[in-house]
């Protein structure tokens, strides 16, 4: 056994069906009684439901969360926090809403209860990404780690299939990068393989039967497992590229992860042959990069940066941004090779 360091993260996790109805009890356990509910505009009905369940413990809703956590939106939300004298932040939704909750916590130290409705996994991490002046930056701090995560399988059944697939691919990316992370350890690696296997098993079933309870449960467990991996160890080239493309070119988050993942895996394959064999086994395929591409393509997910809004003329700038600051990756970061990676991803070439 190789030496390793593992830091467990202090979060309370409630997993099951109809767990949303425990929200008031969880607020009480935190010793709070003035919860502000966050969501995107599209999920305002879900936010209202949570607010109603809280009853007198709710101070209202803020439905302005958007992708990539722009500082301007955070500032608007902070004004509402001050006006309502909220003592707890409650987020229902995906990465956009959870990102806003984290940004508020970063600025106020208020506790968070998060209720994920997608498979992005950010709820399980002490990581926040924020966008200012067209640049997305990330930082790791326990100040933004949610105190409570409520996973309710029933809430994910209405998640549209296209979002389900890209969100699940986003989660798989966390686990794969955790397996070849310089901080890898046996516990997280085991969890990563379980997460990949659960999501790969769930995706085809949900694609054909979106209301399948067992598949939705597998997918939500996989999301938690992969998110825990993201929170426990460092990420590499895949996440760096996705943050660059999302923050600087406003590409959609989960779709960007879906497109980039097979190409990032192919980039690192020669330096991580043992890891890629484990990924392929978890996916049930012979080649990890090709298996990931096929998993997306066969279930209606985008496979090219072109189809999600990127311009070919932006590739060179993306390479420049991604290579601007040194970071660890199992294979050295080489601008020419990264340009080739992004070109393949732009045109949707199968690895």
Strands 58-65 and 127-132: unpaired
- Find, among 26, 38, 127, the residue nearest to 77 by Cα: 38
pLDDT given for residue 203 in this prediction? 98
Q: Which residues of the chain have pLDDT under 70?
A: none
User: CB-based burial of residue 270 (10 Å sphere; 0-12 exposed, 13-18 middle, 19+ buried)?
Assistant: exposed
Q: Which residue bears the tokens 């460092």?
A: 234
CATH topology for 12-156?
Answer: Rossmann fold (3.40.50)
pLDDT given for residue 133 in this prediction? 87
Q: Are 227 and 123 in contact (CB under 8 A)?
A: yes
What residue spans define the domains of the chain? 12-156, 161-347
User: CB-based burial of residue 24 (10 Å sphere; 0-12 exposed, 13-18 middle, 19+ buried)?
Assistant: middle
Question: Quick count: other Cβ atoms within 10 Å of Cβ 75?
Answer: 11
pLDDT given for residue 200 in this prediction? 98
pLDDT digits (tens, 9 = 90+) for 142-175: 999 999 999 999 999 999 999 999 999 999 999 9
pLDDT given for residue 8 in this prediction? 84
DSSP 3-state assignment of 151?
strand
Task: Write the secondary structure of 57-69 as one string of H (helix), E (strand) and C (coil).
Answer: HEEEEEEEECCCC
Q: Are 178 and 188 in contact (CB under 8 A)?
A: yes
pLDDT given for residue 325 in this prediction? 84
Residues 161-347: name the CATH superfamily: Dehydroquinate synthase-like - alpha domain (1.20.1090.10)
Query: Tokens at residue 318, please?
Result: 């993306």
- Find, among 97, 45, 36, the residue nearest to 67 by Cα: 97
- Find, among 199, 197, 190, 191, the residue nearest to 169 by Cα: 199
Query: Tokens at residue 69, please?
Result: 């956590």
Query: Are 12-156 and 161-347 the same fold in CATH?
Result: no
């Amino acid at each position: 056994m190789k030496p390793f360091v593992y830091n467990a993260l202090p979060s309370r996790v409630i997993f099951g069906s109809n767990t949303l109805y425990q929200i008031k009890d969880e607020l009480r356990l935190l010793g709070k009684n003035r919860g502000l509910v966050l969501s995107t505009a599209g999920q305002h009905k879900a936010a209202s439901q949570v607010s109603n369940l809280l009853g007198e413990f709710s101070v209202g809703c803020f439905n302005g969360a958007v992708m990539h956590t722009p500082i301007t939106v955070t500032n608007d939300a902070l004004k509402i926090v001050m006006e309502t004298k909220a003592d707890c932040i409650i987020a229902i939704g995906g990465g956009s809403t959870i990102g806003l909750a984290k940004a508020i916590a970063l600025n106020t130290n208020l506790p968070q209860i998060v209720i994920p409705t997608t498979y992005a996994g950010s709820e399980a991490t002490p990581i926040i990404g924020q966008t200012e002046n067209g640049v997305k930056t990330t930082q790791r701090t326990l100040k933004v780690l949610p105190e409570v995560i409520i996973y309710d399988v029933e809430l994910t059944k209405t998640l549209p299939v296209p979002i389900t697939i890209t969100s699940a691919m986003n989660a798989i990316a966390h686990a794969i990068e955790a397996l070849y992370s310089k901080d890898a350890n046996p516990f997280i690696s085991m969890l990563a393989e379980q997460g990949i296997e659960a999501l790969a098993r769930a995706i085809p079933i949900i694609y054909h039967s979106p209301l399948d309870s067992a598949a939705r449960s597998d997918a939500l467990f996989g999301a938690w497992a992969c998110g825990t991996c993201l929170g426990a160890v460092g990420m590499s080239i895949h996440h760096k590229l996705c943050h660059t493309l999302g923050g600087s070119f406003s590409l959609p988050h989960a779709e960007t992860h879906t497109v980039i993942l097979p190409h990032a895996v192919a980039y690192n394959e020669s330096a991580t042959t043992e890891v890629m064999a484990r990924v392929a086994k978890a996916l049930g395929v012979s080649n990890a990069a090709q298996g990931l591409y096929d998993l997306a393509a066969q279930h209606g997910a985008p496979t090219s940066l072109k189809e999600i809004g990127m311009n070919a003329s932006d590739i060179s700038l993306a390479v420049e941004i991604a290579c601007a600051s040194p970071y660890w990756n199992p294979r050295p970061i080489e601008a020419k090779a990264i340009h080739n990676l992004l070109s393949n991803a732009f045109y949707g070439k199968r690895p």
